[in-house]
Structure 1
Amino acid sequence: MTLTFRAISEDQPGPKWARQFAEYWPAYAGWWSREGLTGRPTYRDCRRAIVRHMPELVDLYDTLCELAGGGDMAARFLSFYCPPPYLAGCSQAVWPGDEALLVRNYDYAADAFDAVVLKSRWLGRGVIGMTDGLFGLVDGINDAGLAVSLTFGGRRQVGVGFGVPLILRYILQTCTTAREAGEVLGRIPCHMSYNVTVLDARRRYLTAHLAPDRPTVLTRAAVATNHQERVEWSSHARFTASVERERFLLQRLTLHPETQDRFIGAFLKPPLYSTAFASGFGTLYTAAYRPGPRRLEVHWPGRVWLKSFDAFAEDSVTVTFPAAQRRAPPPAGG
């Protein structure tokens, strides 16, 4: 299996963003409407939710809707409000050394992934991140040195709220510290359970446990996999080896002091690195965010792709992944 990652730089929403959206829109539309259009909120409800919870993004949202063609369905999709359920794997951890470093694996289905690193200056704030739906982000860093990433929280409950990638976008557009990000994570409703780890340039960090049916819990956890304070979806935890990956990372943080390179390298090997691509949970990339120099390193075994605010080439890289392994998916009632 191969996958091409693209790097795009466009300070303000414009033709580059519009071309990319037009290319991806048929796949987005099929996913977003798979439960029927009546199962998604109306445009009026979507925009009202952004006005209420993320007012700083309203003008940006309107601009992106216009660039997407001005259609009702695209506008509702771009709001990320009450989207269909989606699951991911993922592991993330804050390195225990003196320099701020956040490392994460993104384990997901390749055919449902943007594979775009976007550098922008929307709302006057520089942001580099891996996009989702070309508006949201699954991880990223801003020009204040604030880095953020997500993992699925291992719960099946779905509620009224935003898809977490837009919450990450909002954090990077409006916050400069982990404390500010924690305040955002405590007040914006999320439609499913996710773990969001935030690290700022002064090495202050937190992990938020988001859920649609209970208050957000802010923790000092330096590690997040695919459950929260306890395993609540046992079959999913077994399927993704969530507990085993968490234990492995905690051991590395507490029992094995090591260099940054060795820490990053651990994410490129089992048990953190997954080859379950056929089941939609293979490791598509490892990201190392360095808030000090405001830099992103995208890693694959034997390969590194560097991006920063000072040096951002609009290039692409094609990655060939190892032979896929298939796992039985977790049963719905497990």
Structure 2
Amino acid sequence: MKVYSDVTQFRGSHFDFGYAQGRYLRESNVLINRQKGWKTRKPRFYTNVQEAKQAYMRFTPGIWDELLGLQEALELPMEEILRNFGNYRVNAKPGGCSILTGTDFMVRNYDYNPITYDGRYSFFQPTDQGYAMMGPASRVTGRMDGMNEKGLSMGYNFMQRRRPGDGFICYMIGRIILETCATVDDAIQLLKEIPHRGSFSYVVMDPSGESYVVETTARSVGVRESNICTNHFEILTHENRYNLDDSLRRKNLIEKNGKPDITAGEAFCLMNDTKRDIFSKLYGSWAGTIHTAAYFPKELKAWFSLGGDQDPIVFDFGDWLKGNDIEVEKITGELDSEIELANM
């Protein structure tokens, strides 16, 4: 199936950004599909508006303003805004994902179910607070991976869904990392402090070339320096899911092929080539590769492709930060699946 992501660009306040996204949603199928999803499954969570507001105001008040802008544009109750876009106290389905970092790059496969995928690649430069960032949007306000103006790059991998807690989920935590952190040390400190809803590993890398895997659950956080991450913990092993076969298989493949001097191009092909057995087509099992992304913290550039066996689109984030808009309006690709993206 042919799929696409819109490239959106915004410079301004968080409230105005939220309002603009609300206007965008009114013209797309994302909101319709999100609301349709709640008719077929009841949410297994409850979000207290005041409690959520307090959490946002502590860690990232700008995003609360963004939610207020969304609310004004969509004319919906805040309870519904938080349920659909707040990314606070939401259960996540099991997923895949693989990440490899080199001396000056991070390459990541995002594996999930296409119906959850917004189909929007966002550039945002706030004028009120927080760092400018780029990356694919998730649940509108969240980010599944990305890079900010300081070169800090981030991606996360699902671990397990047992015993969730009260807190933010991966999409929003990824966004908050990009919005508020300048270095890997900043990101590690944030991940130790922020409340986690689920169990995920966050891979962070900055222009120093250091990359860390931060293992997180609602109960504890572990930090290790590493350049490979799939879908199992190596510190918090007691928190692992029961079946680790595919996660270990992909990790072993990456270790075998990810030689110390591997180039970014070789790493991207390793992840994106459908015949190399790391790219996944298990879309119906919530573990199919939707995109492959690469980030270059020193150069402030990124590569991105939808689907497998693709030549990536190159984004010059550094040039965009100087005020020069990205010319690409739409990213196209193809998935070996009949499941449509949320924007289709």
Using the size of structure 2 for normalisation, the TM-score is 0.84
* Counterpart residue identity of residue 244, structure 1: R
> Is the CA contact 1:4–1:115 (under 8 Å) kept in the aligned structure 2?
yes
Counterpart of 2:11 in structure 1 is 11
Give the CA RMSD over aligned residues.
2.4
Q: Deviations over 1:185-222 (max 9, x none)?
A: 1111111111100010121221111111x211111121
Q: Deviations over 1:36-56 (max 9, x none)?
A: 468321322321222244345
Distance in 1 separating the partners of 2:336 and 2:44: 40
Residues 121-270 of structure 1: pairs in structure 2 closer than 5 A: 121-122=125-126, 123=129, 125-212=131-218, 214-229=219-234, 230=237, 232-235=240-243, 237-238=244-245, 241-253=246-258, 255=259, 257-269=261-273, 270=276
Distance in 2 separating the partners of 1:66 and 1:16: 10
Residue in structure 2 matching 1:305, options 295, 299, 313 = 313
Moved over 6 A (4+): none
> Is the CA contact 2:18–2:67 (under 8 Å) kept in the aligned structure 1?
no
SS in 1 for 2:144: strand
Q: Which runs of 5+ in 1 are unaligned?
A: 325-334
Distance in 1 separating the partners of 2:332 and 2:10: 22
Residue in structure 2 matching 1:85, options 77, 92, 114 = 92
* Counterpart residue identity of residue 241, structure 2: W
Aligned residue pair count: 317
Q: Which runs of 5+ in 2 are unaligned?
A: 321-325, 339-344
The change in CA–CA distance for 1:188 and 1:117 in structure 2 (over 3 A counts) is same
Distance in 1 separating the partners of 2:32 and 2:310: 34
Residue in structure 2 matching 1:106, options 107, 110, 114 = 110
Identity fraction in percent = 22
Distance in 2 separating the partners of 1:193 and 1:31: 23
> Is the CA contact 2:100–2:108 (under 8 Å) kept in the aligned structure 1?
yes
> Is the CA contact 1:296–1:306 (under 8 Å) kept in the aligned structure 2?
yes
SS in 1 for 2:281: coil
Using the size of structure 1 for normalisation, the TM-score is 0.86
The change in CA–CA distance for 1:103 and 1:50 in structure 2 (over 3 A counts) is same
Distance in 2 separating the partners of 1:105 and 1:115: 15
Counterpart of 1:319 in structure 2 is 333
Counterpart of 2:341 in structure 1 is none
* Counterpart residue identity of residue 211, structure 1: T
> Is the CA contact 2:101–2:227 (under 8 Å) kept in the aligned structure 1?
yes
